[in-house]
């Protein structure tokens, strides 16, 4: 097959992929419109949360499309940014129910947060990163980093040392066997192969190996509408069974 024919075939495949992605973007926009006008969305904050997630995904994927296909979609990105800003102004802010306790040592300065090494090791073993740990404990990320240094705990040493090229080869092999695999499932396949890889590295690898598949999965994913509760802290509210979703009176 001649080089010109190969080039034309490649261009046709890219054009077909772009058409599918743009059709999916249009479908996603219609879903957002239907969700916003749906009469079942009685709680404004919950509705905006769902819409915000969908719009953020659209914005991020449009940026990926621009870099992959070299087309100008900045006008759409700016419109989405304006809508997201309006949503942020509408949503009321709320604080987390749990916060790390402060330990009064009698020394000069603010009381120290009481964060144990067992807590940090538990979070790390369960796959949480530094910013996520800080959010769960309701402290700053700098506080978490100081405690990690105090207890001589390293986040990097818990991950498998592997180059980007080798990781891409493994990811490509897994995608050939499981073509619709997403980020979380991919991490599960890697863990089964005794490879503990940071989530951001898995995301970047999948964007390099299968950019079209990443875009299509993001656009087709639908956030789950969940009931919100205001409670004092973790485990302060329990349900008697697993069918609370069937109760509509409360």
pLDDT at residue 208, as a whole number? 92
31-70: string of b/e by CB count within 10 Å (b at 16+)? ebeebeeeeeeeeeeebbbbbbebbebbbebbebbeebee
Q: What are phi and psi of 222, to 5 degrees?
A: -120, 125
pLDDT for res 171 = 94
| pLDDT at site 167 | 94
Instruction: Indicate if 144 and 181 belong to the same structural domain.
Output: no
126 falls within a domain: yes
Burial environment of residue 21 by CB neighbours within 10 A (0 to 12, 13 to 18, 19 or more): buried
Spatial separation of the C-alpha atoms in residues 250 and 246, rounded to whole Å: 10
In a domain, 2, yes or no: no
The runs of H, that is alpha helices, within the chain are 3-37, 44-69, 74-90, 117-125, 130-137, 141-150, 164-177, 183-192, 199-209, 211-220
pLDDT of residue 94: 47
Residue 166's pLDDT is: 94
Predicted local distance difference test score (pLDDT) of residue 48: 66
Residue 248 lies in a domain: no
Task: Supply the pLDDT for residue 122.
Answer: 87
| 64 and 118 fall within a common domain | no
Residue 241 falls inside a structural domain: no
> From the first residue on, what is the mean pLDDT of each consecutive set of 10 residues in the chain (250 residues)?
51 67 76 66 57 79 78 81 76 56 70 86 83 87 90 81 92 91 89 87 91 80 68 73 57
| Co-location of 87 and 109 in the same domain | no
Q: Does residue 36 sit in the same domain as residue 67?
A: yes
Residues 124 and 185 in one domain: no
So what's the pLDDT on residue 186? 92
Residue 68 within a domain: yes
- pLDDT value for 6: 45
Range of the domain at 147: 102-151
Helix (H, G, I), strand (E, B) or coil at 77: helix
Same domain, 146 and 168: no
Total count of domains within the chain: 3
Residues 110 and 80 in one domain: no
Distance CA 35, CA 221 (A): 14
pLDDT at 174: 94
Tell me, yes or no, whether 194 lies in a domain.
yes
Confidence (pTM): 0.47
How many other C-beta atoms can be found within 10 angstroms of the C-beta atom of residue 25? 18
Residues 23 and 72 in one domain: yes
> Which letter, b or e, does each residue of 203-222 get, where b requires 16 or more Cβ atoms within 10 Å of its Cβ?
eebbbebbbbbbbbbbbeee
pLDDT of residue 7: 53
Both 201 and 173 in one domain: the answer is: yes
């Amino acid at each position: 097959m001649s080089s010109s024919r190969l080039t034309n075939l490649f261009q046709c495949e890219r054009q077909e992929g772009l058409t599918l992605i743009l059709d999916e973007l249009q479908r996603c926009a219609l879903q957002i419109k239907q969700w916003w006008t749906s009469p079942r969305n009685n709680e404004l904050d919950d509705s905006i949360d769902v819409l915000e997630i969908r719009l953020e995904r659209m914005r991020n994927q449009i940026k990926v499309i621009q870099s992959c296909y070299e087309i100008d979609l900045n006008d759409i990105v700016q419109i989405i940014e304006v809508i997201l800003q309006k949503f942020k102004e509408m949503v009321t802010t709320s604080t987390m129910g749990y916060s790390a306790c402060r330990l009064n040592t009698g020394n000069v300065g603010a009381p120290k947060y009481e964060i144990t090494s067992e807590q940090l090791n538990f979070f790390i073993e369960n796959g949480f990163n530094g910013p996520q740990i800080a959010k769960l404990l309701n402290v700053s990320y700098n506080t978490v980093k100081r405690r990690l240094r105090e207890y001589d705990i390293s986040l990097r040493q818990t991950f498998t040392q592997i180059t980007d090229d080798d990781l891409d080869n493994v990811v490509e092999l897994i995608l050939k066997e499981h073509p619709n695999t997403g980020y979380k499932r991919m991490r599960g396949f890697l863990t089964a192969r005794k490879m503990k890889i940071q989530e951001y590295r898995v995301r970047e690898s999948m964007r390099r190996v299968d950019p079209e598949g990443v875009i299509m999965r993001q656009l087709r994913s639908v956030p789950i509408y969940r009931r919100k509760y205001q409670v004092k802290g973790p485990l302060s509210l329990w349900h008697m069974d697993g069918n609370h979703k069937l109760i509509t009176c409360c």
